[in-house]
Amino acid sequence: MTPLPHVRYCDEIAHQVGLLRAVVTSGADLSATVPTCPDWSLEELVRHMGGALRWVELIVRTRAQEEVPQDKVPLIGGPDGQGDPAALDAWLAETGEMIVAALREAGPDTKVWGWAGVLNAGFWARRMAHEVTIHRADATLAAGQPYEVAPDIAADAIDEWLEIVEWAQRTLPDDPARDLRRPGSSIHLHATDDTTDVNAEWFIDLADDVLAWRRGHEKATVALRGPLTAVLLAFYRRLPLDSPELEVLGDRELLEFWLERATFG
């Protein structure tokens, strides 16, 4: 599928950073464990996300042609001290402004270092839009708050996940994604809410060494059905398959097999 326009990703990064800031300043317990990332507290999650944005900002702004060591990124770990929502919010606000400005100024075609075979700033705009979208889900789950995401962003996040699994299968010999081949098996994702404008259905064929996928409605070995946001979160392993919003039809073990092995590499 064709990615969304560069400006759309830039706008969404700004939007998602604003929503993440709202979690930070909502009175949520910053020391609470993040259920979907249990090695992190909510504050550690926010610092991780902001640090990733600052790392990408430096790559894009300096037009880096090789990976930048994280210890070269100013304030990558966040503000001094712990448990100060105002300081964390201010740092995150500055971070969001920096990354969006760098991406807008660069445009999508500026050549910079990247991975997954895409060496331009457009890769980073898309990657960071989805990174912050999913980590905001982690934060809202930790804070016990509701979560929604725009249909075009949710659908494109699933596309990108599938593209990265393809890349891992082709290029990373030790990645668990290499084990996903299952001749005669396939997965169907089906958003049940009103997402007509984005065609929020996917067919994933596991017959070959590298998966084949396309948007559309086709019968498969197993189907995952539910509202698009719920399907997105389940596919990113943020929502259990037993959640009441979801329905699994067919070979559930195949879907669990996929979720266990489909990774970013």
Domain-embedded: residue 95: yes
pLDDT-derived band at 178, boundaries 50, 70, 90: confident
CATH number, domain of 50, equals: 1.20.120.450
What pLDDT, on a 0 to 100 scale, did the predictor assign at position 136? 98
Count of Cβ atoms closer than 10 Å to residue 173 Cβ: 8
User: In the predicted model, is pLDDT for residue 265 greater than 60?
Assistant: no
CA dist 207 and 99 (Å) reads 40
Last residue of one domain, picked from the residues 143, 177, 208: 143
Do 168 and 236 sit in the same domain of this protein? yes
Backbone angles phi, psi at 109, to 5 degrees: -100, -5
Do 130 and 173 sit in the same domain of this protein? no
Instruction: Give the percent of the chain with pLDDT over 70.
Output: 98
Domain-embedded: residue 60: yes
Do 30 and 101 sit in the same domain of this protein? yes
Domain-embedded: residue 139: yes
User: In the predicted model, is pLDDT for residue 210 greater than 90?
Assistant: yes
What pLDDT, on a 0 to 100 scale, did the predictor assign at position 116? 87
What pLDDT, on a 0 to 100 scale, did the predictor assign at position 199? 87
User: In the predicted model, is pLDDT for residue 18 greater than 90?
Assistant: yes
Segment 91-103 shows an average pLDDT of 98
Do 138 and 171 sit in the same domain of this protein? no
Q: How far is CA 126 from CA 137, 154, 254, in A?
A: 17, 12, 29
CA triplet 175, 141, 98: central angle to 5 degrees? 75
Confirm if 40 and 142 have CB atoms less than 8 A apart.
Answer: no
Domain-embedded: residue 1: no
CA dist 118 and 6 (Å) reads 14
CA dist 220 and 203 (Å) reads 7
Q: What is the pTM of this model?
A: 0.95
Do 64 and 127 sit in the same domain of this protein? yes
What pLDDT, on a 0 to 100 scale, did the predictor assign at position 264? 60
* Domain coverage including residue 248: 151-261
Token pair in block for residue 169: 């299968």
Token pair in block for residue 89: 């919010």
CA dist 122 and 195 (Å) reads 25
Do 137 and 30 sit in the same domain of this protein? yes
Segment 11-27 shows an average pLDDT of 98
Do 113 and 168 sit in the same domain of this protein? no
Residue type at 208? D
Do 130 and 83 sit in the same domain of this protein? yes
Do 165 and 125 sit in the same domain of this protein? no
User: In the predicted model, is pLDDT for residue 86 greater than 70?
Assistant: yes
**Measured distance between the N- and C-terminal CA atoms of the chain, rounded to whole angstroms:** 21
User: In the predicted model, is pLDDT for residue 204 greater than 70?
Assistant: yes
Do 189 and 254 sit in the same domain of this protein? yes
User: In the predicted model, is pLDDT for residue 179 greater than 70?
Assistant: yes
Domain-embedded: residue 207: yes
Q: 225 pairs with which residues across the strands?
A: 190, 247
What pLDDT, on a 0 to 100 scale, did the predictor assign at position 184? 95
What pLDDT, on a 0 to 100 scale, did the predictor assign at position 194? 78
Domain-embedded: residue 100: yes
Q: How many domains does the chain have?
A: 2
What pLDDT, on a 0 to 100 scale, did the predictor assign at position 1? 64
Q: What's the pLDDT tens digit per position in 103-158? A: 999 999 999 999 988 999 999 999 999 999 999 999 999 999 999 999 999 999 99
Range name among 77-81, 127-131, 172-176 with the lowest pLDDT average: 172-176
What pLDDT, on a 0 to 100 scale, did the predictor assign at position 196? 64
DSSP annotation of 198: G
Confirm if 160 and 130 have CB atoms less than 8 A apart.
Answer: yes
Give the dihedral of Cα atoms 249, 254, 260, 265; nearest 10 deg: -110
Do 239 and 193 sit in the same domain of this protein? yes
CA dist 240 and 235 (Å) reads 9
User: What is the average pLDDT value for the chain, to the nearest integer?
Assistant: 95
Do 120 and 158 sit in the same domain of this protein? no
Last residue of one domain, picked from the residues 112, 143, 174: 143
pLDDT-derived band at 215, boundaries 50, 70, 90: very high
